[in-house]
Amino acid sequence: MKTPVVVLSLSLTILSFGGTYAATSFFKNNCANMVWPGTLTSEQKPQLSTTGFQLASQASFLLDTPVPWNGRFWARTGCSTDVSGKFVCATADCASGQVTCNGNGAIPPATLAEFNIPTGGGQDFYDVSVVDGFTLPMSVTPQGGTGDCKTASCPANVNAVCPSDLQKKGSDGSVVACLSACVKLNQPQYCCTPPQNTPETCPPTNYSQIFSQACPNAYSYAYDDNKGTFTCNGGHNYAITFCP
């Protein structure tokens, strides 16, 4: 893998994927505070040139991804290095102990941007998911491509309407994330696990409908395919915005 190329700029960093250029993910942090995005490549495939980085408020970041690619992005919040030198985050930590996640996924709750990008000019599938809970608003917008190519998003602050029994609070008592009912209660009707593992036996619940009403263009539970999945033919390049 070649050494990442860093462009000296006040707000823009570019990292190159080790190999032939294929597609670009453009990250922008519109949140008031710093976030620490994480990346995870699925199916035991090689990870991207970075699996985690720091992104200041209003800063941007370009990351090359291969095609095909299947994986997810998310943002960690409230991160710091503890007295033992371990990097830890208040939400969506990947438990690597470092800024890079090194193949680890986000510990729920976490707002996720998920992608399935095929070879060539095939149809991309992408979504913003709060199935694993909510941490912060996020959107995914194709840059080019043909077909629907609409923005997938969860632009609302779900923490503001999170039921008390699903709230995750920070050290100051404020709500920093909203757990999914599956994570909190671990029951088949919320997790869509056997014997309720079909769309017919696992309809939306009162909990998932709270997420759905706040973010109608995001996955709110396991069988939200009809409104949660977005497609774009040959787009491949995407803008991922935190706090759109």
Give tens-digit pLDDT for 103-137: 999 999 999 999 999 987 789 999 999 999 999 99
Give tens-digit pLDDT for 137-149: 999 999 999 999 9
The SS3 call for residue 77 is strand
Q: Return the closest-CA partner of residue 79 out of 90, 71, 70.
A: 90
Query: What would the mean pLDDT of 206-231 be, rounded to a whole number?
Result: 94
For the cut 70, the answer to whether the pLDDT of residue 31 exceeds it is yes
Which residues are 154's β-sheet partners? 138
Q: Where are the domains of the chain?
A: 12-157+215-242
Cβ neighbors of 239 (< 8 A, separation 6 or more) are 26, 28, 139, 140, 141, 143
Report residue 6's pLDDT band, with 50, 70 and 90 as the boundaries.
very low
User: Which pLDDT value is given to residue 44?
Assistant: 85
The tokens describing 89, both together, are: 């985050």
Report residue 65's pLDDT band, with 50, 70 and 90 as the boundaries.
very high
Phi, psi dihedral angles at 143 (to 5 degrees): -110, 90
User: Which pLDDT value is given to residue 55?
Assistant: 98
Homologous superfamily (CATH) for 12-157+215-242:
Thaumatin (2.60.110.10)
Alpha helices in the chain (DSSP H): 181-185, 188-191, 206-214, 225-228
For the cut 80, the answer to whether the pLDDT of residue 173 exceeds it is yes
The tokens describing 75, both together, are: 């943002």
User: Which pLDDT value is given to residue 16?
Assistant: 36
- The reported pTM is 0.89
Q: What burial class does residue 172 get, using C-beta atoms within 10 Å of its C-beta: 0-12 exposed, 13-18 middle, 19+ buried? A: exposed
Cβ neighbors of 39 (< 8 A, separation 6 or more) are 47, 48, 50, 51, 52, 63, 71, 72, 73, 101
The tokens describing 16, both together, are: 């190159």
Q: Report CA torsion sign: 73, 79, 84, 85.
A: positive
